[in-house]
Amino acid sequence: MSKPGAWIQKCVVGAMICWLPFLGKAQVPVVIDTDLAQHIIIYDEIEILKDPTGKLTFDQVSSPAYARQFLGSDISTPQIHDLNSAYWYRVRIQRNPDVNKPFIIEFFDQTLDSITAYVPPVLAKDAQREPDSAATYTRILMGAKHPFSDRLFGHKNFEITVDNTTPGTSTYYFRVKTTQPGDVIVVLRSVQFFIGYAVSEYFSFGLFYGMILIFSFYNLIMFVAMRQRQYLYYTLYNLSVGLYEACTDGIAYQYLWPNSPGWNHWAYSVPLTSMSICALLFTQALLHVKTRAPKLNRLMSWVIIGRAIFFLACLFVDHYWFDYKFIEIVPLSLAFFTGVYIWKGGYRPARFFVVGYGFLFVGFMLKFFIMLGYTWLNFGVISYYSMSFCFIMEMFFLSFAIGDKVRLLRKRKERAQQGMIRQLGINERLQRTHNQELERQVRSRTQELTSANDQLQHQAVALTRANDQLQHQAEALQKQADALQTQAQELQAQAEELQTQAEVISRMNALLERDNDQLQSNVKRVTQARALSAPMDFEEFSKIYPDKEACYQFLSDLKWKEGYACRKCSGETYFSGHQPYSRRCSKCGDEESVLAGTLFQNTHIPINKAFYMIFLIYSSKGKISSHKLSSIVDIRQSTCWSYLDKVRKLMDERKKELRQSDEQGWSKLVVER
């Protein structure tokens, strides 16, 4: 698909083509005359022979037997729909050496894969007929599957030169084979007109792609400034449109991958897929579909996933599926319908969105119906450039939609600010009224409390009198208590004697218990000192930490020796957790394992072996190898290496603390900080 360069002139020519009548059964030669600058070869000027087998040779199709099988085109310009067949085209040019300027034949559709041109030879001035032998023809290979450097002209279309040095009529044959539907638009142009047209067309390309880059750069800046995803999606959408158009009009092949013709078959599918996905993402962000139409939002998400899956299937299963471009009607229709639905729901920025997608929808449907065979919709160049024009209009109106959304948001913000100011005034008045009411209630309550205080004072006098009566009764009771006191003193003397004996026995028990504890502590200290002073095998080490219970007890005492503090809410009270020695916060309910925050968190090896590995690494000052460690504890070398690396790093980080530590220095490596 080309761009609108020199499109006004082409539209005029295309409109003229649509109204030309059929020219009869006999092939009409194209006459070169002085006024000829450009002539589109149409109807019976171009004859067609379909080759379903694809095996016919030039000698066969140029023979008299096949010459009568060529038929004139029943539409203005032939179209290729049967991708399994090869098509032969025959064009007759009536030469005129009096026209002293060079001419070319150009194929307008640059997506055709293979075009084999058979050019008649240069004839002597006295020869007035065509050569009899097909061998005298020159074969020229063209098409999108050939390197760009092989072309006669550095132009996106395919051109061959026309010999006009002698009078007479020349017959040109063209064999076309392609893997996607295409238009066989053959044009006879003078080189002078071709150069001017090409310059104008490439100038139009610059304008078109420049507009895309400007729109993309502007929206990218808006995304960086405002951090709204709709600008990023719109930027990606515009870049996808630009790359898709560059793929379909041959610009990408000319400038991006001129030496990789294989890309031409399916390179357009990448930006086409990106264009569909970004269009739906942009629609979701711009129109707030998630909140305004949740069901449509879910449908869009499924369509995005489906479109991505279809692209992967085309890429890895069958590239031929890329030609099913009509599938884009699904995301396009969904975006258009969503815009209409949300616009009807009262969201004003959607109106520009609907207009923009309306242009694109009309252009796509025009191409779609032409592909289905409704040839009366083919208005020549106008139809050919319809999608380009629709893309431009869509970009304009989508930009208006974004601007309208920003304007609406600004207006809403201003209204919200004004409403906030009004609400603050109302709040202030309510606050004054509320304060006055509180003052009135305070005065009333004060009076009530004063009255109640007077009543309490009268009650206090009555209570004082009652207290005096109780005092007299207490004196009588005191006398009885004195007698009981005498008896209690005698019993106290006996109790003191028994207490003295109990204290002597208690001191003896305390001395025995202290001696026992000292003995056990000395045994443990000697054992640990033995562990730190000399190599100890795992069996000896297991006597200190015989099982998982002992290891967990040691970790619990070491981890919470300063007291418990919840990791989430810093609460200091806890209950026992579901796991052994774990603690659950009584405030927030968070349960912390005894292994959490230690070197053994998420470990998959026995805990006592993990203890022993750290002990061995610490005892050897980190110089033991992972292989030796693996052979000692009977654990994979990779696991030992991981523990060894982690402990070495901790020893290096805490070397100052470890130098000042006692025989329990290896335990300072257990808890992570």
pLDDT for residue 25: 52
Report pLDDT digits (tens) over 104-141. Answer: 999 988 888 899 999 998 654 434 444 444 558 889 99
Dist CA 376 CA 227 (whole Å) = 48
pLDDT for residue 92: 92
| Residue range of the domain that includes 323 | 210-406
230 inside domain:
yes
Q: Is the predicted pLDDT of residue 147 greater than 80, yes or no?
A: yes
Mean pLDDT confidence for 244-270: 81
Whether 216 and 190 share a structural domain = no
pLDDT for residue 403: 64
Q: Is the predicted pLDDT of residue 16 greater than 50, yes or no?
A: no
Q: Is the predicted pLDDT of residue 86 greater than 90, yes or no?
A: yes
- Closest Cα to residue 630, out of 650, 652, 602, 605? 605
Dist CA 129 CA 106 (whole Å) = 24
Whether 222 and 334 share a structural domain = yes
Whether 325 and 232 share a structural domain = yes
Whether 14 and 118 share a structural domain = yes
pLDDT for residue 201: 81
Confidence class of residue 175 from pLDDT cuts 50, 70 and 90? very high
pLDDT for residue 10: 41
SS3 assignment for 452-493: HHHHHHHHHHHHHHHHHHHHHHHHHHHHHHHHHHHHHHHHHH
Report pLDDT digits (tens) over 400-441. Answer: 666 666 666 566 666 676 777 777 778 878 888 888 888 888
Cβ atoms within 10 Å, residue 158? 25
Domain end marker among 174, 198, 222: 198
Dist CA 30 CA 41 (whole Å) = 8
Whether 68 and 19 share a structural domain = yes
- The most confident of the ranges 248-252, 291-295, 335-339, 466-470 is 291-295
Element (H, E) at 89: strand 86-95
481 inside domain:
no
Whether 168 and 216 share a structural domain = no
Domain end marker among 364, 385, 406: 406
Mean pLDDT confidence for 220-234: 79
pLDDT for residue 115: 93
361 vs 224, residue with greater confidence: 224
Whether 223 and 164 share a structural domain = no
Output the six-digit token pair for 32: 């070169």
504 inside domain:
no
Whether 94 and 235 share a structural domain = no
Dist CA 222 CA 241 (whole Å) = 19
487 inside domain:
no
Whether 227 and 194 share a structural domain = no
Q: Is the predicted pLDDT of residue 273 greater than 80, yes or no?
A: yes
As for how many domains the chain has, the answer is 3
Whether 94 and 166 share a structural domain = yes
Q: Is the predicted pLDDT of residue 371 greater than 70, yes or no?
A: no
Per DSSP, the three-state class of 571 is coil
pLDDT for residue 128: 43
17 inside domain:
yes
Beta-sheet pairing, 158-162 with 79-80 = unpaired
Q: Is the predicted pLDDT of residue 87 greater than 90, yes or no?
A: yes
Quickly tell me which residue has 């329990």 as its tokens.
664
Angle between helices 607-619 and 637-653 (to 10 degrees): 50
Whether 186 and 218 share a structural domain = no
pLDDT for residue 593: 87
Q: How far apart are the first and last CA of the chain?
A: 64
Task: Give the domain CATH number at 27.
Answer: 2.60.40.2380
Q: Is the predicted pLDDT of residue 317 greater than 60, yes or no?
A: yes
What mean pLDDT value characterizes the chain?
A: 78
Q: Which of 56-65, 289-298, 528-537 has the lowest mean pLDDT?
A: 528-537
pLDDT for residue 58: 92
Q: Which residue intervals of 537-654 are DSSP H helices? A: 538-544, 548-559, 607-619, 626-633, 637-653
Dist CA 653 CA 373 (whole Å) = 78
103 vs 478, residue with greater confidence: 103
482 inside domain:
no
516 inside domain:
no
Mean pLDDT confidence for 480-493: 76
- Closest Cα to residue 237, out of 380, 391, 60, 36? 391
505 inside domain:
no
Mean pLDDT confidence for 476-496: 76
Q: Is the predicted pLDDT of residue 14 greater than 50, yes or no?
A: no
465 vs 49, residue with greater confidence: 49
Whether 41 and 176 share a structural domain = yes
pTM to 2 decimals?
0.52
pLDDT for residue 529: 45
Output the six-digit token pair for 98: 């009096």
Domain end marker among 177, 198, 219: 198
